[in-house]
Amino acid sequence: MGKALLTRRTFLAAAAALVAGAARGQLPQPRVATLDWALLETLLAIGADVVAATELRQFRQVAVMPEVPDTVADLGLRGTPNLEVLRFARPDLIFNSNFYSWADPLMSRIATVESHAIYMPGRNPYVLAEQATLAIGERLSLPASGRLVEGLTSKLDRYKSRFAALHDGRPVLPINLGDARHYRVFGSDSMFGEVLQRVGLANAWTGATSYSATAPIGIETLASMPEAWIILIPPHPQDASEALTGSAFWKALPAVRENRILTTVSINPYGALPAASRFADYLAEGFSRVRNG
Domain CATH number, residue 243: 3.40.50.1980
Q: How far is CA 117 from CA 16, 38, 56, 123, in A?
A: 38, 9, 21, 10
- Element containing residue 135 per DSSP (H, E): helix 125-140
Q: How many domains does the chain have?
A: 2
Reference 103, options 165, 60, 166, 52; nearest CA is 52
> Contact, 159 vs 286, CB < 8 A?
no
> Contact, 190 vs 213, CB < 8 A?
yes
> What share of the chain has pLDDT > 70, as a percent?
87
Is 18 within a domain? no
The reply to whether omega before 216 is within 30° of 0 (cis) is yes
Same domain, 177 and 251: yes
- Torsion angle defined by CA atoms of residues 189, 281, 272 and 175, in that order, rounded to the nearest 10 degrees: 40
Same domain, 112 and 155: no
- Bridge partners of 172, per DSSP, are 203, 229
Residue type, 193: G
Is 137 within a domain? no
Is 197 within a domain? yes
Question: What is the structure's pLDDT at 26?
Answer: 60
Asked if residue 20 has pLDDT above 60, the reply is no
Residue type, 13: A
Reference 195, options 274, 101, 122; nearest CA is 274
Same domain, 274 and 173: yes
Residue type, 117: A
Q: Quote the domain boundaries for residue 259.
A: 149-292
Is 189 within a domain? yes
Same domain, 280 and 154: yes
Residue pLDDT, tens place only, 108-147 = 999 999 999 999 888 899 999 999 999 999 999 999 999 9
pTM assigned to the model: 0.86
